[in-house]
Amino acid sequence: MKSSKREKGKEKKQNKEGRPTDEVVLTEEAAEMIDEQSAEDKPELTDKKDEKIEKLFDELKQKQDEIGELNNRYLRLLAEFDNYKKRAAKDFERSLDLETEKIISRFLPVADDLSRALLYKESDPEKLYGGIKLVLEKMMQVLKSMDVEPFDSVNQPFDPDLHDALLTRIDPDNKEQIVLEEFEKGYRYKNRVFRHAKVVVSVIE
């Protein structure tokens, strides 16, 4: 009887100790199931990762293609702009040449008249004077056609915007700062002073 009680007690003890053992076994089984599930999920995760990487590579290639296209457009625009600058420089140079040719063609007849006038320097001084006067008139006509006109200075008040005073002269008959004489005539170009007149200005003693 005692033996039976001990066995029962031992059995009970084993049962009590066995519960944790059963629980450990269940936990290990659950862990195995989780590992198996994780192992099954790994290919799916890898596939997703590969898809993401592939997508990133596609996007990178697309951006590289866009950059390449933009670079090609930039190079084309740069070449076009360089050609435009060369054409503009040639056009500007040609325009200057044409204007210069126009000016030369206007002054050639003046030079011809002056050459003819000099033929009379000894034989007929009056014709020489008349010829030079004619040349001057023709030259003034040419200048006027180019919007260049002289302005009067003698007996006008001295104006530093129009005149350069080379000398001063005491002249009691005139007021101070009056232009008495003109060494070089002043000219306007399109109503703007192109050349100052070089003059003698009066002063009071």
Q: pLDDT by residue (tens digit) across 17-63?
A: 455 444 444 456 656 665 555 555 555 556 677 778 888 888 888 88
21 or 78, greater pLDDT: 78
Q: How far apart are CA 185 and CA 197, in angstroms?
A: 5
Name the token pair of 153: 């200075």
Confidence of residue 167 (pLDDT cuts 50, 70, 90): very high
How many percent of the chain have pLDDT more than 90? Answer: 32
Task: Tell me the mean pLDDT in the region 158-180.
Answer: 88
Q: Is the pLDDT of residue 186 over 50?
A: yes
Query: H/E element holding 168?
Result: strand 163-170
- pLDDT value of residue 8: 47
Sign of the torsion angle spanned by Cα atoms 141, 143, 145, 149: negative
The structure's pTM equals: 0.53
Q: How far apart are CA 179 and CA 194, in angstroms?
A: 19
74 or 46, greater pLDDT: 74
Q: What is the mean pLDDT of the chain?
A: 79
- pLDDT value of residue 128: 79
**Backbone phi, psi, residue 123, to 5°:** -75, -35
Confidence of residue 143 (pLDDT cuts 50, 70, 90): confident
Q: Find tokens 């007849």 and name the residue.
A: 109
Domains with residue ranges and CATH for the chain: 16-146 (3.90.20), 148-205 (2.30.22.10)
One-letter amino acid at 119 equals L
Q: How far apart are CA 120 and CA 112, in angstroms?
A: 14
For the chain, the 3-state helix, strand and coil shares in percent, each to the nearest 5, are 65, 15, 15
